[in-house]
Amino acid sequence: MKDGIHPDYHPVVFFDRGADFKFLTRSTMTSKETIQWEDGNEYPLIPVDISSASHPFYTGKMKYVDTAGRVEKFQKKYNWGKKEGGES
Could you give the C-alpha distances from 55 to 22, 65, 66, 82, in angstroms and in order?
14, 12, 16, 35
How much is the pLDDT for 44?
93
Average pLDDT, the chain: 78
How far apart, in whole angstroms, are the C-alpha atoms of residue 78 and residue 88?
A: 15
Is 44 a domain residue?
A: yes
- The residues that bridge with 86 in the sheet, in sequence order, are none
Is 5 a domain residue?
A: no
Is 55 a domain residue?
A: yes
pTM of the predicted model as reported, rounded to 2 decimal places: 0.58
Is 85 a domain residue?
A: no
Is 49 a domain residue?
A: yes
Is 30 a domain residue?
A: yes
Residue 7 CA, chain-centre distance (Å), reads: 21
Q: Which domain holds residue 70?
A: 10-78
Number of structural domains, the chain?
1
How much is the pLDDT for 43?
94
Is 2 a domain residue?
A: no
Whether 61 has a pLDDT exceeding 80, the answer reads: no
